[in-house]
Structure 1
Amino acid sequence: MTDHALHFTTELKGLEPDEWLAALEVLVEEHGSFTPLGRDHMATFLDAGPKLLVTFENAVEVRGLPDAAPRGFAFARREGWSHLAIIGKAESWFRDPAIYRHFDRLIDDGFFEDFESVLFYGTGAGGYAAAAYSVAAPGARVLALRPQATLDPSVTGWDTRYMSQRRLNFTNRYAYAPDMIDAASQVWIVYSPQQRLDAMHASLFTRSNVQMLRISGIGGRLNITFDSLGALDPLLRHAMAGDLTPQRFINALSARKTFGAYLKGLVRRARDRGHDALAALACRAVLKRGRDTYFETQLRELGYAVPQSDAPDDDMQDAARA
């Protein structure tokens, strides 16, 4: 391995799927390796420093990112991390024998043993895979956003969101994610308690090495919201270092206090719980920064006048605790 940041530029944005795939292969081959995994998946590896980020990603979502590059590319450039990405061409829970064989080969070759720190990361289906395949690297860390534990209907038949994917085999290799994290040194499971089915999956990760990180009021697409808040990169850095704590998690998400979707959800939750005064505090705290039709309407519905000047910033903290 090289022990330095990689210097390359990405020109992947705006390409059609086949063009994107071809350009990605050329780019990766210059700094590591590109491995097709059957018809539906691929593995890209960037060989940089002694820290390895392993991500599980959807090609459609990757192409929608600002640079249309897998998550770890920025860390390979900025931090000097090596990066292994397992990419599905479509929505995938990474249940493919070609992926099993790839991880078997990596284990046989002692691939993960070459790194001083290994972090598996993914969200949703990728979070499931990050937990499930972490067994290949004992001592690794796992950061999984709203992961599924399994889609085996005999275990999680209550989750009816992914009916077509239930036909995949979730009972053979690298299968039940909560069992596969036993050898991990640290695991962080991030979920929103308002997303009931996500919270039910999270509750199945009952191991002593698991730290649950709950975040309320920002909806189900945690990775997208975290990106918008500038929170995901700091979380990955802390997870790689092994020092991600609940307080650091909350600190990384502090920008949510000015994030419109979060603030609207905060007001809705306060009203649903009958805390009208706290909902009004939140509305006034937002309106202190400037006019906003939504919060003005909420305030009038609550029976309060829209103020010309507002209450102190502590109002938002009080409402957030409701």
Structure 2
Amino acid sequence: MKRLVLALGGTALLVAAAVGYTLSARHDTAAAEPAAQLTLSPGQLFFRDTATGRIGVVTQQERRLSGLKCDRFAVAKQTAVCLAVRPGTLPAVTDVLVLDDHLAVRHTEKLPGTPSRARVSPDGKRVDWTLFVTGDSYAQTGFSTRAGLYEVDTGRLVKTIEELPVFVDDQRYFAADVNYWGITFAPDGNRFYATLGSKGKTYLVEADYKRYRGKAIRENVECPSLSPDATRVAFKKKVGDGVWRLSVLDLKTLKETELAEQRSVDDQALWQDDHTVLYGRDNAVWAVPADGSGAPRELVQGAASPAVTG
């Protein structure tokens, strides 16, 4: 059953951004920079250079760019995933590249749609993604989403989790317009969270991968990101038409804390550690404390899609 995307945020703009790289003032110098050979190791901050689409890393104030080009990128342990839309394909097609610790391709999947979100489970054994797709007759915006995953060890591919049984208010939820996006796994590689969108609402879904079932635990939650200690979820909350605020939800108490970033953020945030949340905005990667204190700090200019090795 195909699904309708609801309130995913800036849909047309995100799709356009996925098809064409955003240019910046760094275009000439970044494009000419020799490709560095990057290797995954703990404590690294990776990013997508918005001038060229190349994946780079920042360590001790040094910025290096690889030759790998992606629209979305994520890492964990010794595994990385790169989502790269194929230029000139209509309807759009995305290559899902599963990479090793030297960013060499170990597996490729070709899937319909344009890149939106990407993650690697903390144990490095699963990669997941969200793609925009077109053609669903009931989609008033013209766009839908497909959230899927790939098991690195077994080679099992789940093209979409749209058949995941979900309970809302203790009742099995059925609707033709259900969408899932923004998957984020717990360290055990089994528990995961995602956004469910349907009938104008969004929900945070907590799911069990082995049992393959989930339940809605909070309304108005999009693009969840589970903290390293697995106790909190950073997410974007819709506060107006096309406006989202970053917040953190305590999974035990369901207490919500708004973060110090006052501007709208349309991104799936990322935890740098248990105390700091990263996100992309205004052609840069930013950091903000996870407890609501402090102020946003710009970490990397001309960058998006932050990824941190554990």
The interval holding the TM-score normalised by the smaller chain is: 0.3 to 0.5
The TM-score, its normalising length taken from structure 1, stands at 0.32
Which of these two proteins has the greater Rg computed from alpha carbons? 1
Higher strand share: 2
Q: Which has the higher contact order (CA 8 A, sep 6+)?
A: 2
